[in-house]
Structure 1
Amino acid sequence: MHPGQIDVNEITGYWSFLMSIDWKDPWLIGLILLHVLTTSTALLTRNNANFQVFLFLVLLTVVYFSESINEYAALNWKTFSKQQYFDSNGLFISTVFSIPILLNCMLLIGTWLYNSTQMMATLKTAQLREKVRQRNSATRTLISTDTPLKED
């Protein structure tokens, strides 16, 4: 085992697992930047529903294939990483890959729910205004037909 590496038996909890990761590894920094870019894209495109649906489906597809990605990364970790992080249980890939992606999916769903409530409130306000306008119009019509004309 390399110096600085932690034996799996030394990891007693999730926090110690997180502390055992070398967060300065270039590919991990790139992955974090990818997650930040994905979150920024989700926030900046909140008014473009079609793109957000596309993004949502791509993110869910990537999470679906995370087990295959984990297996591939476990076989080829020496080409891009300093340490072998990819365990057979998938704890590492779930932590640094799938969880942030699923959080972005939750952000997208939250944005959709917020936009839906805003649209429903706007629609209801427009319906109430139209109802008031129709009542006022009907009241004016009744008033104009009920009052007799003065004859000179």
Structure 2
Amino acid sequence: MHPGEIEVNEITGYWSFLLSIDWKDPWLIGLILLHVATTSTALLTRNNTNFQVFLFLFLLLVVYFSESINEYAANNWRTFSKQQYFDSNGLFISTVFSIPILLNCMLLIGTWLYNSTQMMATLKTAQLKERARQQRKSAAETAKSEGKDKSE
């Protein structure tokens, strides 16, 4: 056992599980940077709905295949990791992989809902302005026609 490693039977809760992870492992740093890049992309492309839909579907597809990714990583962990993290229950991959991706998906949905409410408010404002303009126009025409009737 390496110094600082924790035996599986020593993990009594989720917090001790998180503490048992070697966060300085290069591939984990890369994964965290990937999550940061995904979140940044989701935020920076908030006005490009087509790209966001593609990103959303891609992220959901990756989460869908996380069980297969977990199996592959469990079989090949020595090629990229210092420790075997990939348990059969999928706790590790859910924690460091799927949950951040699903949070990004929630961020995308929140962005879409916000954009929808802004668009609906803009549309309703435009409708009210058009209705007021129509009413002013019809009132002006009515006043004009009443003025003609009185002059005749």
- Aligned equivalent of 1:50: 50
- More displaced, 118-127 or 139-148? 139-148
* Separation of aligned partners in 1, 2:55 and 2:147: 63
The corresponding residue for 1:14 is 14
Count matched residues.
Answer: 151
Q: Which residue of structure 2 lines up, in the alignment, with residue 137 of structure 1? A: 137
**Hey, which bits of structure 1, 4+ residues long, moved more than 3 A?**
148-151
In the TM superposition, what is the alpha-carbon distance from 1:2 to its structure 2 partner? Answer: 3.2
What amino acid does structure 1 have at the position aligned with 2:24?
Answer: K
**Residue of structure 2 equivalent to 1:125:** 125
Structure 1 residue 5: Cα displacement = 1.6
| Residues in 2 aligned to 1:5 and 1:78: alpha-carbon distance in whole angstroms | 16
Report the Cα distance in structure 2 between the residues aligned to 1:118 and 1:5, rounded to whole angstroms: 51
1:75 counterpart residue number: 75
Give 1:131's aligned amino acid: R
The alignment's C-alpha RMSD in Å is 1.1
State the 1:147 CA deviation. Answer: 1.2
Match runs of 1:84-99 below 5 Å: 84-99=84-99
Q: What TM-score do the two structures reach when normalised by structure 1?
A: 0.96
| CA deviations over 1:21-67 (Å, ceiling 9, x no partner) | 00000000000000000000000000000000000000000000000
Secondary structure at the counterpart of residue 6 of structure 2: coil
TM-score using structure 2 length: 0.96
2:129 counterpart letter in structure 1: R
Structure 2's unaligned 5+ residue stretches are none
Whichever residue aligns with residue 120 of structure 1, its letter is M
Q: CA deviation at 1:150?
A: 5.3
Distance in 1 of aligned mates of 2:41 and 2:27: 21
**Structure 1: where are the runs of 5+ without partners?**
none
Give the AA of the match of 1:74.
A
Q: Tell me the distance in 2 between the aligned counterparts of 1:124 and 1:150.
A: 40
Deviations 1:106-144 (A, max 9, x none): 000000000000000000000000000000000000111
1:21 and 1:107 map into 2 onto residues whose CA distance is 26
